[in-house]
Amino acid sequence: MSHGKTEKSGSRKSTRMVDASTGTEPRMFTASSRSSGRLDGSSCVAPVPDTRAIFVHAGAGYHSQLNEPVHLKACADACKAAMALLRNGGSATDAVEMAIKVLEDNEITNAGFGSNLNVHGDPEMDAVICEGSGMSGAVAAVRDVKNPISLARAVLESSRVAMPLRRVPPIFLVGDGASEFADEVKMPRVPINDMISEGSRSRWEKWKMEIEQDAAYTARAQKNARIAGDGHKDEQQSKEEKEERADLIVDTVGAVAIDQYGNIAAGSSSGGISMKHAGRVGPAALVGVGTWARIDNNGKAVACTTSGTGEQIAHTLIASRAVDRIFFADDEIEAMHDAIEHDFMDAPVVLNAMNAAAIGILGIKKEVVNGQTKLMFIYGHTTDSMAISSMVGWQNSPVTIMSRNERPPRVAMEGKRHTCPNRRTY
């Protein structure tokens, strides 16, 4: 485990990460202090690989054809905002926070404004942000903060600062404690009703009516829990069934980013499942469960964020398992496939679950191969669809895709490798 130590140098603060097991410092890449002179009097550092990258998703589930452009635009907007920060020297953590803020502010997603409501008709939102160094911050069951991901970021930053009496700074705050912390860091709180959209309220009213009508509720539960002997759904749902749930399936959003120094970060945010029990904490707030990132002393880095059936994700620790498989793999797509098929779908807790299994995973791997820095974008999902967008530093616009799975719950997946061109910084 890594522990942060804050040191002052003049008027600036720097964060030094020390690996407790080795006593050494992981390499946090920064601009070189060696520069070469130019005839015009300016200076530049030696060419470095352009590792700036952002990869986002708006949930794995079912996205109707009608709403597809709206979901993809939300993802593209998130990528563009994050890349603007990266191009202006922002960190990977900055980019993840910005991308998820854009998604939280979009009513089409189940995060921030418009999140699913709990059984009492209140929003309770979860979010986490973590860095490859191991540092993280998370909040859960937040009701009155506009952007839960920013509150999670504030928790992360506060954990770098020593507390009086040698107390340990928190990295995970829930409910009223999270709201009190928002006051401490001067983050505005908003009326709870301001976080509820017409869509989220209408979804809640529909489900509330069905729960009260016990027969209808039981029939829906049985339909959603059809599991074959191997733990997978026994048949594909018809087009009519998919359209029926088109406006009901909304899920966790997430982002992974790499900055110009090669540092990696990941995050996720979610309103959780509709009609959830008050106080329920989902994987969008759990480090290593729904989101994870790691980097070694040579700058090799991997981060993943997930979406799907939250309790099953929590039982299988799938984010950390996927990161570990991809980190050591020569074939990243095969590693992603194995994480989904073996670590998730074939896990006993999933095979024996009452509810249908659903998972989507998105990740980036950065490593040096034969002297060249490579970026690998990978995603996979067992759901009907997953909304995705990616962008690298040398692209003019994001690449968006609505990945559609022809035979769920089989795994739909894809990967794309980029060779990072060199860039000069001045």
Judgement on whether residues 106 and 44 belong to the same structural domain of the protein = no
- 56 lies in the same domain as 44: no
Structural domain range at position 110? 51-194+247-423
Name the more confident of 346 and 226. Answer: 346
Q: Is residue 175 part of a domain?
A: yes
Q: What is the pLDDT of residues 328-337, one digit of tens each?
A: 999 999 999 9
On whether residue 223 sits in a domain, the answer given is no
In a domain, 372, yes or no: yes
217 located within any domain: no
228 within some domain = no
Whether 302 and 406 share a structural domain:
yes
**Together in a domain, 258 and 292:** yes
User: What local confidence, expressed as pLDDT, does residue 44 receive?
Assistant: 55
Q: Is residue 200 part of a domain?
A: no
Separation CA 251–CA 1 (nearest Å)? 31
pLDDT tens for each residue of 371-407 = 999 999 999 999 999 999 999 999 999 999 999 998 8
Q: Are residues 22 and 113 in the same domain?
A: no
Do residue 122 and residue 30 come from a single domain?
no
Please report whether residue 232 resides in a domain.
Answer: no
- Indicate if 33 and 176 belong to the same structural domain: no
> Does residue 106 fall inside a structural domain?
yes
Count of structural domains, the chain:
2
Q: What is the pLDDT of residues 153-180, one digit of tens each?
A: 999 999 999 999 999 999 999 999 999 9
Instruction: Say if residue 159 is in the same domain as residue 288.
Output: yes
Return the active site residues: 252
Same domain, 40 and 121: no
Say which CATH number the domain at 98 has: 3.60.20.30
User: Same domain for 386 and 298?
Assistant: yes
How much of the chain, in percent, has pLDDT values that exceed 90? 73
The confidence band for 243, taking pLDDT boundaries of 50, 70 and 90, is: very low
pTM of the full structure: 0.83
**Is 292 in the same domain as 327?**
yes
Mean residue pLDDT across the chain:
85
Higher pLDDT among residues 239 and 307, named by residue: 307
Residues 411 and 342 grouped into a single domain = yes
Residue that finishes a domain, picked among 48, 65, 86? 48
